[in-house]
Amino acid sequence: MMECNVFNQVNEYFVSTVMLIGLLRYAFVIERYGPSLLNTVAFALGWICAAGLSMVGSFQVDHAKVLHYIGAGVAFPTSMLFIFLQSILTYRMAHAQWYCWIGHVRCILTLFGLIILVLSGVLFIQEGFILQHLAALCEWVFIINVLIFYGTFAFEFGAISTDTFLVLLKASRAPKSYKAGTSTPATPHAHSTSENMAMI
């Protein structure tokens, strides 16, 4: 019973974290890099992952096994795709040495997450009490790995300001005019701002 309560609390925190960080990262990339289909897809995957995690927490295995597994089947692959796309975006936005190092760290976390997720899937389809518990352990390790990946965004989120959200509002209301008017000239300014933050 205690394990169930702990899981629900961690799950609620993780769902809200996924949604908030996904939105902040989406806005940050738009402000620094401009409109990007890759960024939009990653944002959508992050929120789909949050929906899957919400299902996992709302429907326990003992009471609604099918819905619980559907939620897990949605959450884990989409979170894997999310961190994969974010790793690609990191290298595309790289403009300084420290940013490249963050990209390397994210790639390592992405590769480790992929290995753990595949291992979890292999163990899950096996029969046996011990193997099922090992699969559950792999799932927890994967979740922690993704949380650490999200933690790497702290290096960038220090530069977020109200302008970031204003850019997000402009992009949502008039994406075409924003893309044509500010995506190219905004990049050098954003790069210098990020470099100044890194120096500080």
Q: What is the pLDDT of residues 6-61, one digit of tens each?
A: 667 777 777 888 898 898 899 888 888 888 899 999 999 999 999 988 888 777 76
The number of beta carbons lying within 10 Å of the beta carbon of residue 144 is 13
pTM higher than 0.85 for the full model?
no
Domain range holding 72?
Answer: 2-182
Mean pLDDT, range 162-172, rounded to an integer: 74
- Distance in angstroms (rounded) separating the CA atoms of residues 109 and 92: 18
Q: What is the pLDDT of residue 165?
A: 75
Is 200 within the bounds of a domain? no
Q: What is the pLDDT of residue 174?
A: 55
Check whether 64 has a pLDDT greater than 80: no
* Region of poorest pLDDT, from 28-32, 71-75, 166-170, 196-200: 196-200
Is 54 within the bounds of a domain? yes
Closest to 191 in 3D by CA, of 99, 89, 85: 99
- Distance in angstroms (rounded) separating the CA atoms of residues 8 and 27: 29
- Distance in angstroms (rounded) separating the CA atoms of residues 6 and 113: 23
Number of domains in the chain: 1
Check whether 195 has a pLDDT greater than 80: no
Tokens representing 27?
A: 């806005």
The number of beta carbons lying within 10 Å of the beta carbon of residue 84 is 18
3-class SS at 200? Answer: coil
Is 12 within the bounds of a domain? yes
Check whether 120 has a pLDDT greater than 60: yes
